[in-house]
Structure 1
Amino acid sequence: MTKDESLTPLSDEREVRRASAPYQREFPYERDEEAQVARREFCRFLGFTSAAFFLSAVGFAAKSYWEAQRVPPFKPLRIEGAEDLQPGEALNFRYPTERDSAILVRAEDGNYYAYGQKCTHLSCPVYYERRHGRLECPCHEGAFDLKTGNVLYGPPPRPLDRIVLEVRGDGIWAVGREAGGGGRFGRLFVSDLSSERDGKCS
């Protein structure tokens, strides 16, 4: 070994050996570029997967929401004794089935309001509190607005289910039931039952 050769840095010798390896001459590639491609593919896969899960969740939520708002074709029911109610009085009835309790209230202004009687918290039966003019739940001190069914205070998570009313020649009928919280309620405000003869209601 000459004097000049002995002064050659060890790192240079390794670079020369690495560059002259047979497999690198046959299959040259850049490791950094390959790693970048792999990372891009992985990120793309994650993006597609996340989008699929998101769209599935949105679709399921939308389907559940619209199904909750649909009014099943319940059989109309004449509410016995509704025409005898005085302002400030209420009566209980069953609708749309014998298992479903409901409450009809004639407010102080003469209008009628009907709701499913189960509190939307834990299904305790609500009652009409005349002094405050609202529907109250005795179990956990929840309260609902008489005219809208909306929650006034307490733990109930959504409004009461509303019973759709219709005035006919022989009295007041329940003709449907709609889930509370949908922003759309079938309702009928009645000031005077005598107006039913003219097919009018206020």
Structure 2
Amino acid sequence: MERKPQERESKKESGSVPFPEDNYTHNIRKAGERKLDRRGFMKMMVGAAGIFAVSTLPWGGLAAKELAGIGKRRYEPAKIADLNQIGVGEAVEFAYPGKHDSALLVRLSDNDFRAYQNACTHLKCPVFWSKEQGELVCPCHHGFFDVKTGKPTGGPPQRPLPEIELKTEQGAVFATGVKRYET
């Protein structure tokens, strides 16, 4: 049976599609035509950004705690050397706080000791004690550090060497902690 032209015209006007098709151009005025339009996409992106921001809050709290120095790290005391093994003006290399963290102890006088992590703060080259110059030297880029404060006195380094806290007892020198950078 053949359809009349009037029936075809009335179907077009009612908004129905004359044949089944998944092409979006034929159903623009249909309700629920697209599940994700521009507005829906933007809502989803703002929601995702919000979830990401909230999920990073614990890490931000840990970083703030670390930067503020609220949670001071505790290190196990470690024996560096006996007092009779180190002469005045001499230096001893040791590992602290971990076994791969190289450090340097310098005896300045009978009761004055200084210890620093001996990785240069410029590019992590090893730092050595120069008894002749009376300062710590980084040979890679000619950096120099004051042995009493660890602060740079010449060359490219801008930050002081991390200082290791010391304690002398029972005829030996012990490392007890690492001081924080002071800006």
Greater helix content: 1
Report the 3-state secondary structure (helix = DSSP H, G, I; strand = E; otherwise coil) of the residue aligned with 1:65: helix
Output one character per residue of 1:174-199: Cα deviation in whole Å (capped at 9) or x when no partner.
Answer: 0001233x16xxxxxxxxxxxxxxxx
1:90 corresponds to 2:114: no
Name the CA distance, whole Å, in 2 between partners of 1:144 and 1:70: 28
Report the 3-state secondary structure (helix = DSSP H, G, I; strand = E; otherwise coil) of the residue aligned with 1:79: strand
Partner residue of 1:150? 151
Partner residue of 1:73? 74
Alpha-carbon shift at residue 71 of structure 1 (Å) = 3.9
Partner residue of 1:165? 166
Unaligned ranges ≥5, structure 2:
1-59
Name the CA distance, whole Å, in 1 between partners of 2:118 and 2:164: 10
Report the 3-state secondary structure (helix = DSSP H, G, I; strand = E; otherwise coil) of the residue aligned with 1:155: coil
Output one character per residue of 1:102-159: Cα deviation in whole Å (capped at 9) or x when no partner.
Answer: 0000115652110001000111110001111100100000110000001101111200
Contact 1:160 1:179 in 2 (8 A): no
Unaligned ranges ≥5, structure 1:
1-58, 184-202
Report the 3-state secondary structure (helix = DSSP H, G, I; strand = E; otherwise coil) of the residue aligned with 1:125: coil
Q: In the comparison of the two structures, how many residue pairs are matched?
A: 122
Name the CA distance, whole Å, in 1 between partners of 2:106 and 2:90: 6
Question: In structure 2, do the counterparts of structure 1 residues 156 and 71 end up closer, same or farther at CA, with 3 Å as the change threshold?
Answer: farther
Alpha-carbon shift at residue 73 of structure 1 (Å) = 0.7
Partner residue of 2:4? none
What one-letter code is carried by the residue in structure 2 that aligns with 1:176?
Answer: G
User: 1:89-108 counterparts in 2 under 5 A?
Assistant: 89-108=90-109
What one-letter code is carried by the residue in structure 1 that aligns with 2:147?
Answer: L
Q: TM-score when scaled to structure 1?
A: 0.55
Contact 2:82 2:171 in 1 (8 A): no
Alpha-carbon shift at residue 70 of structure 1 (Å) = 5.7
Alpha-carbon shift at residue 172 of structure 1 (Å) = 1.2
Name the CA distance, whole Å, in 2 between partners of 1:92 and 1:139: 18
Alpha-carbon shift at residue 81 of structure 1 (Å) = 3.9
1:116 corresponds to 2:117: yes
Contact 1:149 1:159 in 2 (8 A): yes
Alpha-carbon shift at residue 88 of structure 1 (Å) = 1.0
- Please provide the CA RMSD for this pair: 2.3
Question: In structure 2, do the counterparts of structure 1 residues 123 and 71 end up closer, same or farther at CA, with 3 Å as the change threshold?
Answer: farther
User: 1:183-202 counterparts in 2 under 5 A?
Assistant: none
Partner residue of 1:11? none
Displaced runs of 4 or more, over 4 A: none
